Amino acid sequence: MERFFFEDVWKLLTGWGVLQFFLICLWSWTRSHRVAIANWMLPAMVAVLSAVSVAVVTPAEQIIETCRRLSHAVDDGDMRAIATHVSPDFEAHNLDRDRFLEKTKRALTRVRIDHLRLRAFEISVSSPTLATAVFCASCRIRTPEFTRSAVPSKWRIDFHREQDVWRITRIRSLPVPPISFRALGEWLR
């Protein structure tokens, strides 16, 4: 219900359209005073719910926004922005935080990543301070030797909430055919 009411306004508006159509049909058949009142009240309720939906930012929306900010930082090669979202207790593919940031900086110096797009988010919030995001990404990779467009990848990122900021504690690369990279270390070579 939280996802329907607070995270996706379009689903809420679609549901309203279907219900509004049903109420109009019901009113045209019955000419009931109660149904007529419901027909007028429903748009007001949807307006209030839409305003609440925009005002309330759920943990899942915060995590998606964090992932999007990180994708912009990767696209721009902004290591400072990346570092602010990596937790001190980060661990991935036998890399601690400092080693991960060092390898990432080296990789982003050697390889240019453009047009990074994220989609198909699956957010799992297991507690107020722990969450996991799984999503697909695609980008263009440029090096002096080659350019590859629309390179697909899939990621699983574990987050820990620290003082109202979601920080990454673990990153895993998930296999996506035809790319054979299965581990984060292969992406950071």
CATH architecture for the domain at 59-187: Roll (3.10)
| pLDDT band of 4, cuts 50, 70, 90 | very low
Produce one character per residue of 135-151: b if its CB has 16 or more CB atoms within 10 Å, e if not: bbbebbeeeeeeeeeeb
DSSP state, 3? I
How much is the pTM? 0.73
* Digit-coded pLDDT (tens) for 12-40: 778 878 888 888 888 888 888 888 888 88
- Hey, where are the domains in the chain? 2-55, 59-187
Please state, rounded to an integer, the average pLDDT across all residues of the chain: 84
CA distance 159 to 59: 11
Q: Which of 19-23, 43-47, 49-53, 82-86 is the least confident region?
A: 49-53
